[in-house]
Structure 1
Amino acid sequence: DLGAVFGDGRALDEVRRVALDGKADMAMREAALRTLIDNKPPDLRQVCESLLGARILNATAVRGLALFDDVKIGQSLAATYGKFYPAERPAVMDTLVSRPSFAGPLLDEVARGKIPRADLTAFHARQILAFKDDPLTKQLREVWGDVRESAADKRALIARLKSGLTPEVLAQADRSQGRLVFQNVCAACHTLYGQGGKVGPDLTGSGRANLDYLLENLADPSAEVAADYRMTILTLADGRVLSGVVASRSERTVTLRLLTEETVLERSAIAKEETLPISLMPEGLLLAFSPTQVRDLLAYLMHPVQVPLPAP
């Protein structure tokens, strides 16, 4: 019974044995590893590093490694990113953007083409900007694009896009391809037709039939941000920086909604909290898309009913 192991050194030895036992039940091994992460024994890093090659357990091991501020961990995770199952990669990416020492190796691998640029979402770009680290910001702009624009730039972008998105052009759009763009880039934060993330507003009932409304919100996402979706940056006592939206608070804890999960943090573990009047979504996101992708995405968003994904 893993519930009996807390606070007992000999019991933690048994938990460690279960976590490392290749013949043990996988659910038990994962529960054991989570217990070790919660208790933080001195050899936690070595245990987690030894399990990075173990399918299913490796994503949990990444959670444990996030506790250690060492550029070598960032280099290792970035170098082995492609070995994780696709469903596990968002959690790995969350870890890679949780510390400046991890974000540098991540951006190096994106620049080399080893990590798909599309996996570095708008949410992750905002997280890296939150470090306020000039070299990282410069590196991010090189692989992502300029994530901040002037008001004049935004107006010019909206006018240029609108002039090219005539009814005739939109009528030629492939909405299924637009859904694929949404799924790959937008669904990490936004829900549409009951599917997607919850760190951004649900788009299902928004005024998305209006092209002007969509272009203004995509080009200038921070123009109007509901209080529930403002970006909150938590600097933790262990050096990590987490960005998300606050889902709830109590006298003892803060629940932060991240891209892949909700995490409950003890207030005592939070060194600094800052809520900004901006969206988690970076400016300049549309500049990352081709004209065809912009056309297809806008046509999909403006359509009143769900469409199928393109055939494989």
Structure 2
Amino acid sequence: MNIKSLLAALGLLLVVVPVRSQEANSLDPLVEVLGASEEAQFQLDILKGIAAALKGQRDVPEPKRWADVAKRLAKSPNVEVRELALSLSLKFGSRAALDDLRAQLRDASTGLAKRKRALEALVEARDEKLPTVLIDLLDDPPLQRAAVRGLAAFDAADAPRTIITSLSKMKPEAKRDALATLASRVTYAAALMGAVEQKTIPAKALSADVVRQLRAHKDATLNRSIDQFWGLSRSTPEAKLREIEKYKRVAELRTDVPNNLSKGRALFNRACVQCHKLYGEGGTIGPDITGSDRRNLHYIISN
């Protein structure tokens, strides 16, 4: 085995024996070898080994000579070498790498796949300048969903207002992502509930998953607002059973009174429509009761 093959094998061995971030100086010899090599495949083997060894780690100290070596690798004719070297620069906290990726992300002439990879890398790096770019990308249809999901990773002051303003122009899939992002942080959730209260966003637009996500913050102010639109949260099955029995007794007291379908529909529109669908109208938090046994009192009260 020649020396280059041996060193390439050493690079790949790092996959099996990961390097801890505080031991990043152990990468110095490999970086030296990278700096001396002109063979793309050899460079790629070493880069892949380093990348695998550092997977999942952050704040990794930059190895000696990496900045110089990275500049040279950035000019490689091999696309994988260029992109992997840039990714490692990001791992080592390179500001130049962040700037480069942001430029790729903004450039509409860059391939979509490459822009998506840049976005993902910047989100993973928690680039402090990224939220501004993501907000701009809410008007970029191919990247809109990725951008709105990415904003969930940042507490960006302008994000909730911009997302809410953009909702009306989004397709259903993007709207779901947007509502999930708005429910992801207390500050965003407060803006979301403010929009619901102001009827900018209809309460029925929030799915059961989003409401549960809002509840998960366990924020008293949020919960009061949620209770206003979706009722009190019952934490135990026993509490729900007591409620069911209570309303069954009330309903059974008036069995001699003829049904009034018009009043029933008006009651549904006032009290039930936010959560349940009936003949295509209503929310999706609770079951669609169009095809249900609506004569079954227990079923109706339970749902």
Structure 2 length as normaliser, TM-score? 0.51
Matching residue's letter, 1:105: A
Instruction: Using the TM superposition, give the Cα deviation of residue 180 of structure 1 relative to its aligned residue in structure 2, in angstroms.
Output: 5.5
Match of 2:211 in 1: 125
Instruction: Using the TM superposition, give the Cα deviation of residue 299 of structure 1 relative to its aligned residue in structure 2, in angstroms.
Output: 5.1
Distance verdict in 2 for CA 1:154–1:37, change over 3 Å:
same
Inter-partner Cα distance in structure 1 for 2:142 and 2:197? 28
Q: Deviations over 1:51-80 (max 9, x none)?
A: 222113122122222122245422332232
**Does the CA-based 8 Å contact 1:104-1:136 persist in structure 2?**
yes
Matching residue's letter, 1:39: A
Match of 2:241 in 1: 151
Match of 2:284 in 1: 185
- Find out whether 1:18 has 2:104 as its counterpart: yes
3-state secondary structure, aligned to 1:66: helix
Match of 1:6 in 2: 87
Inter-partner Cα distance in structure 2 for 1:37 and 1:50? 15
Match of 1:102 in 2: 188
**Does the CA-based 8 Å contact 2:126-2:153 persist in structure 1?**
no
Inter-partner Cα distance in structure 2 for 1:161 and 1:46? 55
**Does the CA-based 8 Å contact 1:6-1:39 persist in structure 2?**
no
- Structure 1: any 5+ residue segments left out of the alignment? 170-176, 187-284, 287-292, 301-312
Match of 2:150 in 1: 64
Structure that is richer in strand per residue: 1
Distance verdict in 2 for CA 1:297–1:185, change over 3 Å:
farther
Matching residue's letter, 2:186: P
How many residues are paired up?
184
Distance verdict in 2 for CA 1:46–1:161, change over 3 Å:
farther
Instruction: Using the TM superposition, give the Cα deviation of residue 144 of structure 1 relative to its aligned residue in structure 2, in angstroms.
Output: 2.6
Inter-partner Cα distance in structure 1 for 2:142 and 2:152? 17
Inter-partner Cα distance in structure 2 for 1:60 and 1:159? 51
Inter-partner Cα distance in structure 2 for 1:55 and 1:38? 22
* Structure of higher CA gyration radius: 2
Matching residue's letter, 1:185: T
Q: Deviations over 1:107-143 (max 9, x none)?
A: 1112222223222112222222222211111111223
- Structure 2: any 5+ residue segments left out of the alignment? 1-78, 256-260, 262-276, 295-303
Instruction: Using the TM superposition, give the Cα deviation of residue 181 of structure 1 relative to its aligned residue in structure 2, in angstroms.
Output: 7.2
Superposition RMSD in Å: 3.4
- Find out whether 1:75 has 2:161 as its counterpart: yes
% identical equivalent positions: 25
- 2:221 aligned to which of 125, 130, 135: 135
**Does the CA-based 8 Å contact 1:178-1:299 persist in structure 2?**
no
Q: Deviations over 1:131-187 (max 9, x none)?
A: 2211111111223333336532123456779999xxxx9xxxxxxx769679x626x
What does 1:1-312 correspond to in 2, within 5 Å? 1=79, 2-8=83-89, 9=94, 10-148=96-234, 150-157=240-247, 185=284, 285=286, 294=289, 296-298=290-292
Inter-partner Cα distance in structure 1 for 2:84 and 2:280? 43
Structure 1 length as normaliser, TM-score? 0.50
Inter-partner Cα distance in structure 2 for 1:38 and 1:161? 55
Inter-partner Cα distance in structure 2 for 1:97 and 1:58? 18
Inter-partner Cα distance in structure 2 for 1:57 and 1:40? 18
Structure that is richer in helix per residue: 2
> Larger relative contact order (C-alpha < 8 A, sep ≥ 6)?
1
Distance verdict in 2 for CA 1:131–1:30, change over 3 Å:
same
Moved over 4 A (4+): 157-164, 177-182
Matching residue's letter, 2:284: V
